[in-house]
Chains A and B, each alone.
Chain A
Amino acid sequence: MIWTLAVLPIALFVLGFPVFTVLLAAGALTMALVMSVPPLAVHQILFGGVENYALLAVPFFVFAGELMSRCGVSDRLVLWIQSFTGHLRGSLGVTTIASATILGAVSGSSPATVAATGRTLYADLLKARYGRRFSLGLIASSGAVAIVIPPSIAMILYGASGEQSISKLFIAGILPGLLISLAMAAFVVLWVRLRRGDIGRAGTEIAEAGRMGFRAATVHSAGALAMPLIVLSGIYLGVFSPTEAGGVACLYSMLLARWGYRSLTWGEILEAASDSAYLTGQILVIVSAAALFSWCLTVQGVPQALIGWVQQADLSPTVFLLTINAILLVLGCFIDPTSAILVLTPILLPIVKHLGIDPIHFGIIMTVNLSIGMFTPPFGLNLFVAQSVLKADIWDVCRGVLGFFLVQVATLMIITYLPPLSLWLTTLL
């Protein structure tokens, strides 16, 4: 069992097999060689892994994010943020974080946010003398907040595989997401002050345009700002479920792109839909294969054995969470959040419940951990996106994220040991 469920998948993973084939091969071979289960189960569980209403939110939020990033929303949002941060020293750095935060509130994907903020702000950050490494690190790491701020594909996957309410997870992510952004912004301002010199002082085009005034900028970007409000208030007021919020977000983005901003043709909207279908296949085929893998783990009694081990070791929730944070941070260096959430949730959630930790709070801890993993070297989608979109050297990106990594890990500790930060808003639902 250890061969087919641990050694084989690790070997295939290292040899560069796509994650979904790693999980599929491990599951199918375990069934054929170790378990006495008819191999028909392979088909049945692959199908069942995707045939899940909660997962519908994934294609919808992917599509809404694609439309938003293509219809010129990011420029408008940057302008809006500059309209009230423009006077600050280090404003462009803060603007980068604020843009990632607000773009994160219209998109469920962290790499998409990195691409959008990077395209809009990288050149200006360089002009304002933030330096290449710092700018690249800032862009790659601030995009991570997009999966902590709702909507979030990571939370949808956690909720779907752990049977937790996605609405609650979305609401629970708001304050931790804002805390991460605040901590990042504080770090940037501090860094700019400590470096003295003229960093962040030189005027740039965007900073100039940002002085168009708060009111004018708000009107200019109202269409984009309305999107997170529609989604979150819809969920909060009970008008629709997270999945329906995703559908509404898509329809709204289509209307905004076609008739509001007149920035996309129907053909371009279809193009965005086709790319979203591609991305959906890329993500959810892993969900499907992970269902097979975790089915084998369950029937082989792995979660039960781990609970037994935790009981014997007499771990307190505090120590358990610290251990989990350490493990997730290390894992996050090598694998993508989608796979990590799908493989780990069924294993960890029974232990979490056994220890009396709130599963919603745990979902947030897991999401934050894995959002950090998205920009920790050597493997992190955000790193690769920053590299390819900004034509940068991967080494510069990796060096640049270090400071931000420490800031976010410190924030992770606060989020882990202060459950009300995540749970308070959900009690108001």
Chain B
Amino acid sequence: QTTMKLASATINDVQHEWQKVFAQELEKRVGDKVKVEIYPASQLGTIPRMVEGVLLGTIESFITPTAFLVGTEPTLQIFDAPGIFDSPEHLAKVIHDPEYRDHIETMALDKGLRIIGAIYNSPFLVLTKQPAPKLSDLEGLKIRTFASPLQIKPMSAIGASPLPLPLSEVVPALQAGAIDGMLAGMPILTAFKYYDIAKYVTDLQFSLIVSVDVVNEDWFQSQPADVQKAIVEAGRAAEEAVLPWGIANVEKANKAWTDHGGEILELSAEDRASMTKTFKEVSDKILTSDPKVAAEYKQLMDVVEARR
């Protein structure tokens, strides 16, 4: 019997759901040959440590938004390009396109990571203390982002001040006014009760988060052929199964937000067009600077267009 530790930074969200369904699907196929242990909520360390953990084989598997794997495999940032997906359904059609899905599985193989799960996570929203229904409202606001260029540069481009800040300090910083808002998905905002501090989110509709589950390739190769096959199948079965769960969970989170007195604002068509244009210029520049990333980006965009 071999143990497979599945790690993630979040809990009770679609990533955690994928882990649970994966465990069931795997058990269906190989019984107790593989003992799956799930460690949500950063129990095994911070995100960078979990990434290294899978790389070094101390953790067998880790599920995360693609943004956190860019330091390992730069091509994975293509999924963060703004404005590529029209809807969660469109996103799912692209990443579950049979041929492209086979390609995704191997995208980080050079680095010793096999992608066995690829799922829709949630849309990126911007949370603000003051309502920001217009693009110009965001100018000069201090917005907490991840330290990834595809979040920092677009935010700067529309005049906001992007500030990477440790998650534990976000709440007091928001309360005290050290920052004016943050980029995040709705399930995270409701899970941590952000409606108690800031009431407004603006749905910029610029990016949908893709999460992937990676396993350590050396560990994977050390498994017997039937277990390898079962892991790949269970991963894909789980990603099909959690899509409706994930979509419903975002809706549930949106409802929880408004039930607690929060508001969800949308940009005018005009503002969105101008924002999309700005974001595209910025992201194209980032994504074409490395030929390998540029090639992957083109391949993705071909599927995106074909599946629209």
A residues touching B (Cβ–Cβ < 8 Å)?
A: 36-38, 40-41, 44-45, 47-48, 51-54, 159, 163-168, 235-242, 295, 298-299, 429
Contacts and interface: CB of A to CB of B under 8 A. Distances in A.
Interface in B1-34: 2-3, 5
A238 B176 contact: yes
A38 B45 CA distance: 16
Contacts of B173: 238, 241
B27 to A, nearest CB: 19
Nearest to B172: A167
Nearest to A35: B3
Contacts, number: 80
Nearest to B1: A36
A48 B178 contact: no
B304 interface: no
A346 B42 CA distance: 12
Given A38-B58, A40-B56, A48 B45 contact: yes
Interface residues of B, number: 29
B165 to A, nearest CB: 8
6 contacts: A40-B58, A41-B53, A54-B166, A167-B172, A237-B176, A429-B172
B32 to A, nearest CB: 15
Given A38-B57, A48-B46, A51-B48, A165 B176 contact: no
Interface string B124-141: 000000000000000000
Nearest to B52: A44
7 tightest CB-CB pairs across the interface, nearest first?
Answer: A238-B176, A41-B58, A238-B178, A48-B49, A167-B172, A238-B177, A53-B166
A44 B57 CA distance: 11
Contacts of A241: 165, 169, 172-173, 178
Contact of A429 (B2, B39, B166, B175): B175
B129 to A, nearest CB: 11
Residue with the greatest number of chain A CB neighbours at <10 A, chosen from B3, B56, B172, B176: B172
A159 B168 contact: yes
Given A40-B56, A298-B44, A45 B49 contact: yes
Given A40-B58, A45-B45, A167-B169, 18 more contacts: A40-B56, A40-B57, A41-B56, A44-B49, A51-B48, A54-B166, A163-B167, A165-B169, A166-B169, A167-B176, A236-B176, A238-B176, A238-B178, A241-B173, A295-B44, A299-B5, A299-B39, A429-B176
Nearest to B218: A38
A55 to B, nearest CB: 11
Contact of A54 (B3, B42, B168): B168
A298 B53 CA distance: 15
Contact of B44 (A36, A51, A166, A299): A299
B58 A238 contact: no
B169 A38 contact: no
A298 B56 CA distance: 19
B43 interface: yes
Contacts of B165: 241
Interface in B110-133: none
B284 to A, nearest CB: 32
Contacts of B109: none
A50 to B, nearest CB: 11
A237 B169 CA distance: 14
B227 interface: no
A236 B175 CA distance: 9
B53 A166 contact: no
Contacts of A51: 46, 48-49
Contacts of B53: 41, 44
A37 B172 contact: no
Nearest to A429: B175
A36 B166 contact: no
B64 to A, nearest CB: 16
B172 A165 contact: yes
Contacts of B172: 165, 167-168, 235, 238, 241, 429
Nearest to B42: A163
Contacts of B177: 237-238
A334 to B, nearest CB: 28
A376 B3 CA distance: 45
Contacts of B167: 163
Contacts of A235: 172, 176
Nearest to B219: A38
Interface in B151-181: 165-169, 171-173, 175-178
A51 B56 CA distance: 17
A299 B173 CA distance: 33
Nearest to B179: A238
Contacts of A240: 178
Nearest to B165: A241
B178 A239 contact: yes
Contacts of A164: 168
A51 to B, nearest CB: 7
Given A166-B168, A166-B169, A298-B43, A44 B58 contact: yes
A299 B177 CA distance: 38
B57 A52 contact: no
Contacts of A54: 166, 168-169
Nearest to B41: A163
Residue with the greatest number of chain A CB neighbours at <10 A, chosen from B2, B5, B166: B166
Interface in B220-268: none
A220 to B, nearest CB: 33
A60 to B, nearest CB: 15
Nearest to A36: B3
Nearest to A346: B43
B178 A165 contact: no
B221 to A, nearest CB: 15
B5 to A, nearest CB: 7
Given A38-B57, A38-B58, A295-B44, A163 B175 contact: no
Contacts of B37: 299
Nearest to B176: A238
Contacts of B52: 44, 48
Contacts of A237: 176-177
A308 B3 CA distance: 23
A239 B173 CA distance: 9
A14 B219 CA distance: 40
B178 to A, nearest CB: 4
Contacts of B42: 163
Contacts of A41: 53, 56, 58
